[in-house]
Amino acid sequence: MTNQSTIHKLIEMRFTALADAFRNQLNDPKMKDVPFEDRFGMLVDIEYSNRKNNRLKRLIKQAGFEQSDAVIMDINYTSGRKLNKELIHRLATCEYITEHRNLFITGATGSGKTYMACAFGMEACKQYYTTKYVRLPDLLLDLEMARNDREYRRALSKYTNPMLLILDEWLLLKPTENERKDIFELLSLRRKRSSTIFCAQYKSEGWYEQLGGDGSPLADAILDRIVHDAYKINIEPIDQSKDISMREVYGLDKRLSE
């Protein structure tokens, strides 16, 4: 068997990184003095790393992050906002996902909720957890359209299956009765088997009324499935005079660059 034939077979089996590394070894005179076991180990390491990197890229792409460049290390702690750095670093380990616990990130518009949530999502991808980012209004619209097309269960699975679901703009608008039923179904299926990050403009104490309050039997049921043992990060200004938008800090406000 010729070396070229071996390379072709590796490519056919989709071991492309290994094939390239093998070709490089053949062209490197120094490799002739390296023991076979060491050379083989180098080839396996290259193929292994390549597959892990490709898997990570797929997870990030499938997550559909609003801000795919968000990084935990770039979270700004000097912008005049109160942040629990120790808690944020602990959550970045993704321990809350293994515990199947939720995370509430609350704060005013421009406080950096979405950036922080996407940064946590990126850390989840790096640990190879399936992750999905979606705005709640888009999710509810997707489920409504799927119901009309008799594809409801398939559409619902897109949001129930990921180990980490990021729900942005959580309860920004009051959901209808049918939408509350969809929310209840989704969160019931995710309970105690996965984690959800909720990004909202106000603290969880105000969610009951937004879900219909005493006028909706689902309000208590929904909150019962997400509130217990949830971690909470409330982004609030320490000094209003020094409070600046995180969109400006992270360069996300297009108007500022015009």
The per-residue pLDDT for 29 is: 87
The per-residue pLDDT for 246 is: 52
CA torsion 125→109→179→218, rounded to 10°? 100
Contacts of 162 (CB under 8 A, 6+ apart): 129, 130, 131, 132, 194
The per-residue pLDDT for 221 is: 95
Task: Dig out the tokens for 251 from the structure.
Answer: 């360069």
Domain boundaries, the chain: 3-61, 67-252
Alpha carbon distance 18, 51 (integer Å): 10
The per-residue pLDDT for 138 is: 97
Model-level pTM? 0.83
The per-residue pLDDT for 22 is: 84
The per-residue pLDDT for 242 is: 54
Task: Dig out the tokens for 93 from the structure.
Answer: 């380990």
Contacts of 7 (CB under 8 A, 6+ apart): 19, 22, 23
Q: Which residue has the tokens 């071996």?
A: 6
Contacts of 42 (CB under 8 A, 6+ apart): 21, 25
Contacts of 194 (CB under 8 A, 6+ apart): 97, 100, 160, 162, 163, 164, 165
Can you identify the CATH homologous superfamily of domain 67-252? Answer: P-loop containing nucleotide triphosphate hydrolases (3.40.50.300)
The per-residue pLDDT for 250 is: 52
Q: Which residue has the tokens 């890229």?
A: 57
Beta bridge partners of 132: 165
The per-residue pLDDT for 110 is: 86
**Sequence letter at residue 74:** D
State which residues of the chain have pLDDT below 50.
254-258
The per-residue pLDDT for 257 is: 33
